[in-house]
Amino acid sequence: MSGLNRLNQYRVVWVFVFFDLPTDTKKDRRNYTRFRKNLQKDGFSMMQFSIYTRHSNSRENAEVHIRRVKSFLPPKGEIIVFTLTDKQFGMMEFFRGEAEADRPETPQQLELF
């Protein structure tokens, strides 16, 4: 398979994690912080408050990260995990106030596993 086919807009995916976690008690806040830090450790970046994204070079790689997220789910709250192809991600519109905002940059990194 050529390099172009391996990294086309339909094969490359973005993993999204949306979450709404309680922060009422000290234990809840600790679980919230632990969950966020685990997302960041796994290469996710904050897109908006409680929305984190991660670029993956393939569906197989995305599944690895989705399983990892499932392994550190907190005991309370709601978490949504889904994927979009790079093509779908590129069709999103970003706004700040009424003005259109710049899209987040696509990472230019190689993953060797």
CATH number where 12 lies: 3.30.70.240
pLDDT band per the 50, 70, 90 thresholds, residue 107: low
CA–CA separation, 70 and 61 (whole Å): 15
Greater pLDDT, 48 or 3: 48
Find the distance separating the first CA and the last CA of the chain, reported in whole Å. Answer: 17
Residue 25 lies in a domain: yes
Is 60 exceeded by the pLDDT of residue 9?
A: yes
Q: State what percent of residues in the chain have pLDDT above 70.
A: 83
Count how many domains the chain has.
1
Residue 92 lies in a domain: no
Is 59 buried (19+), middle (13-18) or exposed (0-12) by CB count in 10 A? middle
- Global pTM reads 0.80
Following DSSP, what letter does each residue of 42-71 receive, concatenated?
Answer: TT-EEEETTEEEEEESSHHHHHHHHHHHHH
Residue 104 lies in a domain: no
Residue 8 lies in a domain: yes
pLDDT digits 0-9 by tens, 22-36: 999 999 999 999 999
Structural domain including 9 reads 3-87
How many C-beta neighbours within 10 Å does residue 89 have?
19
Q: What was the pLDDT predicted at 108?
A: 58
pLDDT digits 0-9 by tens, 41-62: 999 999 999 999 999 999 999 9
